[in-house]
Amino acid sequence: MNWIFYILILISVVAGVVNGRLEAVVNSILSGAELSVKVAFSLIGIMAFWLGMMKIAEKSGLIAFISRLIKPITKLLFSEIPEDSPAMGDIAMSLSANAFGLSNAATPIGIKAMEEMQEHNIDKKSASNAMCMFLAMNTAGFQLIPATVIAVLVGIGYKNPAVIIAPTLLVTSIAFVSAIILAKIFEKFWAKQKAEKENS
Amino acid sequence: MFQKIMELISLWILPVFIIFILTMGLCKKVPIYEVFTDGAKDGFKVAVNIIPYLVAIIVAISMLRASGVIEWIATAFSSVFAMFNVPADVTPIMIVRSLSGSAALGVFSDIANSLGPDNYATTLAAVMVGSSETTFYVLAVYFGAVGISKIRYALVVGLLADLIGIIAAVAVCNAMFA
């Protein structure tokens, strides 16, 4: 992450100078910082709501039930996490919420899943294999209906916006499956996590 | 038909799910109000915890977008993309869709509004934006929430999957619409 951060900013400044857009680059620091806080604060309410709901689901045994239900799949994908951990139920619910386009619910539930996974993590500063797998599935953005995109198409008078649903679903499925396979491959070859040692 | 059904499900799933959780809680004699407020307490903490990670990633990406480097890359590769029947207007989306969701949607709206509904570029852009999730944002939020800074192979996998998604989008749209 150190290098990614450095390179992103270095390229921006250099390209800004070459393009004569240095002023825009400098201004974007302020607007970017402001946007980050806005994004975080806009999450507070909905985050509180879903964390509250999920706590009820947990106490009533619903999450444990879902965890048991999907055990055959999760055992394969998240081998590090104990089978009966509530993390499994959270992961399943977060991904389903994403699939239905409910990203407002998916993010808080996903964060709760990350917290559960962090408890089983041997090095709290670095990402466990299970976390990388979960985020790989997440970044592939599996979604059944691309609602915002369809709204834009409807807005410009696209004849039949529904025609993009099938190809989009196909593409996102390909990306989703590839992400899972890639995460499994990298898990084998990437340097293993070391237990609790400060690292960059 | 499929779309109508999906829209109905999307509308109903939340209320049904919430009622289901509450009912189940009551049946199991969970003090739902107290447990809800207890769980909700963490909402603020989590949101505040992710601020430093969001600031780092959103500022870096805002700077990158303002610098015009994305247009460079798009122009540099546009001749390569042209071989695969990718219109030049669509190339910025390929790069921006991993970086910023709002930017990708913005570029897509521009394309849709300027080229209109009958253009292949509009369809391709729609599929590309609709099938993606903002990799950088997802990583910043989820890892930030648990305070992880060493992300190992998560970004590499995310970006490779994005690349596969782009290739798939081009191939599928070529086969279906071109």
**Å from B89 to nearest chain A CA?**
17
Same domain, yes or no: B62 and B139: yes
Please tell me the total count of domains within chain B. 2
Q: Is the domain of B162 the same as that of B126?
A: yes
Whole-angstrom distance, CA of residue A8 vs CA of residue A169: 31
Report residues of chain A scoring pLDDT below 50: 198-200
> What is residue B1's predicted lDDT score, i.e. its pLDDT?
67
Q: Token digits for B124? A: 């391709």
Cα–Cα distance for residue pair B124/B111, rounded to 1 Å: 10
Same-domain status, B98 and B64: yes
DSSP per-residue letters across B91-159? HHHHHHTTT-HHHHHHHHHHHHHHH-TT-HHHHHHHHHHHT---HHHHHHHHHHHTT--B-TTHHHHHH
Quote the minimal CA–CA distance from B95 to chain A in Å.
Answer: 14
- Distance, in Å, from the CA atom of B141 to the CA atom of B135, rounded to the nearest integer, reads 10
Mean local confidence (pLDDT), B154-165: 93
Residue range of the domain that includes B32: 1-40
CA atoms of A157 and B112, how far apart (whole Å) = 10
DSSP class of residue A191 equals P
Instruction: Give ipTM to 2 decimals.
Output: 0.87
Q: What pLDDT is stored for residue A199 in this prediction?
A: 47
Mutation target vs A (from B157, B174, B177; most A CBs, 10 A cutoff) = B157
What integer pLDDT is reported at residue A165 of this predicted model? 86
Check whether residue B36 and residue B49 sit in a common domain: no
pLDDT in tens, B84-102: 888 888 888 888 888 888 8
In terms of domains, do B11 and B99 share one? Answer: no
- A82 DSSP 8-state letter: -
- For residues B155 and B159, give the distance between their C-alpha atoms in angstroms, rounded to a whole number: 6
B92 and B71 in a common domain: yes
Chain A, window 109-128: residues with a beta carbon less than 8 angstroms from a chain B beta carbon: 110-111, 114-115, 117-118, 123-127
d(CA B106, CA B101): 9
CB A127 within 8 A of CB B151: yes
Residues in chain B: 178
Mean pLDDT value of segment B130-159: 90
Q: Is A51 exposed, middle or buried (0-12, 13-18, 19+ CB in 10 A)?
A: buried
CA dist., res. A143 & res. A98, Å (int): 6
- Considering the domain architecture, whether residues B71 and B36 belong to the same structural domain is answered as no
Facing B6 at nearest CB: one of A144, A187, A190: A144
In a shared domain, residues B56 and B127: yes
Pair (B80, B26) in one structural domain: no
Among B34, B153, B163, the strongest candidate for a mutation testing the A interface, having the largest count of A CBs within 10 A, is B153
pLDDT (mean) for B151-157: 92
Chain B within 8 Å of A70 (Cβ-Cβ)?
A: no
**Strand ranges (E), chain A:** none
pLDDT tens digits along B107-140: 899 899 889 888 899 999 999 998 888 899 899 9
Question: Region B147-169: what's the mean pLDDT?
Answer: 92
In this predicted structure, the answer to whether residue B2 has a pLDDT above a threshold of 70 is: no
Residues of B in contact with A169 (CB under 8 A): 131
Of residues B116, B134, B176, nearest to A167 (C-beta): B176
Query: CA B108: distance to chain centroid?
Result: 13
Q: Check residues A11 and B2 and name the one with the higher pLDDT.
A: A11
Query: Do B62 and B30 belong to one domain?
Result: no
- The predicted model scores a pTM of 0.86
User: Which tens digits make up the pLDDT trace of B30-78?
Assistant: 999 999 999 898 888 888 888 888 898 889 988 988 998 888 888 888 8
Q: What are phi and psi of B58, to 5 degrees?
A: -70, -40
Query: For position A200, what pLDDT does the model report?
Result: 42
Do B15 and B54 share a structural domain?
no
Judge whether A79 and B55 are in contact, CB under 8 Å: no
Instruction: Verify that B16 and B61 share a domain, yes or no.
Output: no
